[in-house]
Every structure is written in structure tokens, then in C-alpha cells.
Amino acid sequence: MFGETPAFSGFSVDDLDAARRFYGETLGLRVEDEGPDDMGALVLTLAGGARVFVYAKDDHTPASFTILNFEVDDIDRAVDALGERGVEFERYPGFEADGKGIVRSDGRGPSIAWFKDPAGNVLSVLHTG
């Protein structure tokens, strides 16, 4: 039914200015203001042209799951670059991370490192190769 219908995803944040800086400056995504100023929203453009709607929500609760995964060719380089930009990596029970915060692949999944945006939403960089 919707195989040919454009779609987009979205998530909330509690501070649009902090989100604009983080997604634009720290992660290097194209960030555009969306709609009238009183609406409070941004559009992120990802590689390949996918767009993600980010909206302000006064009673925002951070997502407890990964909202965006960035697939990279070199996870060490990506983690190092993010660390140089002030990003701290999360460690979760049941996932043994190395000193950088990377959970190395054991052949059953990708190597992955999780981090949070300023609103507490979870993101990751991962390498599947």
C-alpha cells in the first residue's frame, strides 16, 4: 500500500537550539528550520537524502532505544572523531565495551558504540564489515 509513498521518521527533543548545534556542528548533518518559529521543529538530512523531523516537546522523555544508527567504514576513526568533539559513549549491561566504548563484533552482529544527543536520545555508530 505504501511502497511508493514518501515517508519520514521523527523524534522529540527538549531544546531545539542544542539539537541544532549537536546535529549540525558535532555530527555534521544538514539541519534546517521547519515551519514557523512558534512551531519549533528541525529537519535533518541524512546521507542518501533521507529526512528526519525533530520537534520540540516540553515534556520530552528521551527515547530508551536507538533512534539513529550511522553506519561507518571505520568505527575507531568515527569514535575518535566524535570523542574529539566532546561526545561521550554509553556502556550498557550485557555489552562488553572496550576502552573507547566500542562493543566489538563477535560475529553475531556489528561493532557498535552508543552515544546520546543533548536531549538524552540514544544514537550509534556501527560497522558491519
Beta-sheet pairing, 122-127 with 51-56: unpaired
Residue 114 lies in a domain: yes
Helix ranges restricted to H, 7-102: 16-21, 75-84
Single-letter amino acid, residue 53 = F
For residue 117, the domain's CATH number is: 3.10.180.10
For residue 23, the enclosing domain spans: 9-56
Grid cell digits, residue 109:
552482529
3-class SS at 26?
A: helix
Grid cell digits, residue 41:
521543529
Predicted local confidence at residue 90, as pLDDT = 97
Grid cell digits, residue 111:
561493532
| Strand ranges, E, within the chain | 9-13, 30-33, 41-45, 51-56, 66-71, 111-116, 122-127
Residue 2 lies in a domain: no
Residue 96 lies in a domain: yes
- Reported as a single tens digit per residue, the pLDDT across 45-68 is 999 999 999 999 999 999 989 999
Q: Are residues 70 and 51 in the same domain?
A: no
Predicted local confidence at residue 35, as pLDDT = 67
Q: Are residues 50 and 70 in the same domain?
A: no
Q: How many domains does the chain have?
A: 2
Q: Is the dihedral of CA 12, 15, 17, 20 positive or negative?
A: negative
3-class SS at 23?
A: helix
For residue 27, the domain's CATH number is: 3.30.720.120
Predicted local confidence at residue 124, as pLDDT = 97
- Reported as a single tens digit per residue, the pLDDT across 89-104 is 999 999 999 999 999 9
